[in-house]
Amino acid sequence: MDQERDAASRHTPVMLERCVDLLAPALAAPGSVAIDGTLGMGGHTEAILERCPEARVVGIDRDPQAIALASARLARFGDRFVAHHAEYDDIEGALAAAGADRAHGILLDLGVSSLQIDDAERGFSYAQDAPLDMRMNPADPVSAADLLRDADERELTRILRDYGEERFASKIARSIVRRRETEPFERSEQLVDLVRACIPAATRTPGAGNPAKRTFQGLRIAVNRELEVLERAIPAAIEGIGVGGRVVVMSYHSLEDRIVKRAFAAGAESQAPPGLPVVPDEDLPYLRLLTRGAEKASAEEAERNPRSKPVRLRAVERLRPTPPQRLRRNP
């Protein structure tokens, strides 16, 4: 009971009602299966199980602490909830855990969870001094401290520029390499101080927050291979639903949203030349966009839950199986 209350009190799910509204039409039939690919502390899964009494949910998470907290919270649903310890691209493994060939709904709430941010010892937050860890799965072999110790200047620059979208990536990387010769990076405060010294005060946007934010984002994405997993997860989710099934994805920065947008658009567009009187089946769209562009949290939710401010939600429904020719072409 303590764990159940702990999970519920430590996290406010982002765009909860909208996510359930989008998934519920696909989860009305008896035996429906939903996959919550980013279980976290179970808030979205709980809402799906309450709203869709005919559905079962498989919750995926790479973090064993999240699995334990969410499982305690969701124990009252019995076998309607199954936990699957894996990265969220393992849609096939989640389906096997449910004994199903296809899911009817899949939800992905990307990025770092409240559980990980709020636990200072996990090292995700630049606002608190802690060991530089940043691993979503503590059993993974490479921590942020390892990366800062071993990566060369060119690789560090790429990580900070491409994943953190950091304007001063090369300057920060050069400073890291120089500093680590005499002082290993072991705690977040060391890195925050270095980044602050590298970014001229005149270039900082008022109200933009800690100047180390982008550096921490880049390192976190690299440590957890987040974009690599996402590149596999989106096609797996699309192919993991049957006709009438729905996929809902919430992204928190442009790198994630770009991957989602591209994959959804590829399935929702006709491949036939304009003006063709009869469109061959293989050129017809196999997805239908359920959102007009990317939806944002309401002003009220953003005020109530600041972590919802950057969210971009996109959703699709499967219209027909993916033509083999297009399946081969898709990323």
Binding residues: 42-44, 61, 88, 109, 116
Residue that the structure tokens 């005499």 belong to: 182
Q: How far is CA 89 from CA 29, 130, 147, in A?
A: 25, 29, 24
d(CA 179, CA 173): 10
Residue pair 108/240 in contact by the 8 Å Cβ criterion: no
Cα diameter, the chain: 71
Angle, helices 169-179/188-198, rounded to nearest 10 degrees: 130
Residue that the structure tokens 């179970």 belong to: 42
Binding-site entries for S-adenosyl-L-methionine? 42-44, 61, 88, 109, 116
